């Protein structure tokens, strides 16, 4: 069975957006990123939403976005790193045709996010400790809803996409 939709989950910096765009092109699907949809709809970036509404306000917007998008066929959906923290989001994600957990190690995540000022949770004195803490908290959630897990450390995006295609298309 060929997947009708694919949901990419994993920590920030795992490559969900980059890999999602390439995967969508290969599958002839639309690419959708929950963070981008939220930014388009609000006219504000994620950092601003965090500042004004707090993480709770952002998470509610994220939930409503996910609820709408996860049921659409013919899309590759890249999700925010913290989307799995809500139980109702995990249930929505688990119901998707193919859920792919893009896993990456701390060093890789740190390198990929080091210069990115658009990640509010990493605007702290010790980003390494924050990444470790987030991984410890969220990894069990990622694993609980994933149909497939791909380690992206040392893989370029095209290789990762090829690995995903092998897994989701029988």
How far is 10 from 139, CA to CA, in rounded Å? 8
Residue 170 lies in a domain: no
On whether the CB atoms of residues 72 and 34 are closer than 8 A, the answer is: no
How far is 1 from 70, CA to CA, in rounded Å? 18
Host domain of residue 80:
5-162
Residue 23 lies in a domain: yes
Domain count, the chain: 1
Residue 119, domain CATH: 3.40.50.300
Residue 169 lies in a domain: no
Residue 168 lies in a domain: no
Highest mean pLDDT among 3-7, 16-20, 46-50, 53-57: 16-20
Query: Mind listing the pLDDT tens digit for each residue in 94-149?
Result: 989 899 999 998 888 877 666 655 655 556 667 778 888 889 999 999 999 999 99
pTM, whole model, 2 decimals? 0.91
């Amino acid at each position: 069975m060929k997947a009708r939709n694919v949901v990419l989950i994993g920590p920030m910096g795992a490559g969900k957006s980059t890999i999602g765009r390439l995967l969508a092109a290969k599958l002839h699907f639309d690419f959708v990123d929950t963070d981008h949809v939220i930014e388009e709809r609000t006219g504000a970036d994620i950092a601003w939403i965090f500042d004004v509404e707090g993480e709770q306000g952002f998470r509610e917007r994220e939930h409503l976005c996910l609820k709408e998008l996860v049921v659409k066929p013919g899309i590759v959906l890249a999700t925010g790193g913290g989307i799995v923290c809500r139980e109702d989001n995990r249930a929505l994600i688990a119901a998707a045709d193919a859920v792919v957990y893009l896993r990456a190690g701390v060093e890789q995540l740190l390198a990929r996010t080091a210069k990115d000022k658009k990640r509010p949770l990493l605007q702290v004195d010790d980003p390494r400790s924050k990444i470790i803490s987030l991984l410890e908290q969220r990894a069990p959630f990622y694993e609980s809803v994933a149909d497939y897990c791909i380690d992206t450390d040392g893989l370029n995006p095209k290789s990762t996409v090829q690995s995903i295609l092998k897994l989701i298309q029988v």
